[in-house]
Amino acid sequence: LTALHRFAVQRWTPRDVQLALDEVLRARRWSVPDRVEQPAAYLAALLRDVDPNDRPGALEEAMVEAERERREWLWRRDVAGSAPECEHGQPAGDQPHPQTGVRACPLCRTERKAEQ
C-alpha cells in the first residue's frame, strides 16, 4: 500500500498506524463509515496530515523501557546491595531476579540447575 510506504520507512508497526488512525478520527470527530468504497484512498486521506516522524508507539515504548530501568535500579538498590551474601560471597547471589528469575551468582545458578 503506497499510502503506508512513508510510514514503513520510519519503521512504523501496524499498531502505530492504528494508534495514528484512532487519533485522527478522534480529532476530526469522524466515525468509520459502514462501508468504505475505496479502502486505500480512505486510508491515504486519513493519514494525509500524519507526520511519519511522529511515531505513536515511540512514547509508549520509551515509557516501558523507563519502567524496566527503574525496576532494575530498585532491584540493585534494595535487594542486591543490602542482601546477605550467598555462600560464595556474592551479595544476594542466590536471589532470583524478580523478572528474569536468574540468580546473580554463577555458582548458585549452577547448583540450582544441578538440583533440578
Which of 55, 103 has the CB closer to Zn ion?
A: 103
Which range touches Zn ion (CB under 5 A), out of 3-11, 27-35, 62-70, 82-90?
82-90
Q: What single string gives the DSSP state of each residue in 36-102?
A: -S-HHHHHHHHHTT--TTS-HHHHHHHHHHHHHHHHHHHIIIIIITTSPB-TTS-BTTTSBPTTT--
When asked if residue 93 is in the footprint of Zn ion (CB under 5 A), the reply is yes
86 in contact with Zn ion (CB under 5 A): yes
Residue of the chain from 46, 47, 104, 108 that contacts Zn ion (CB under 5 A): 108
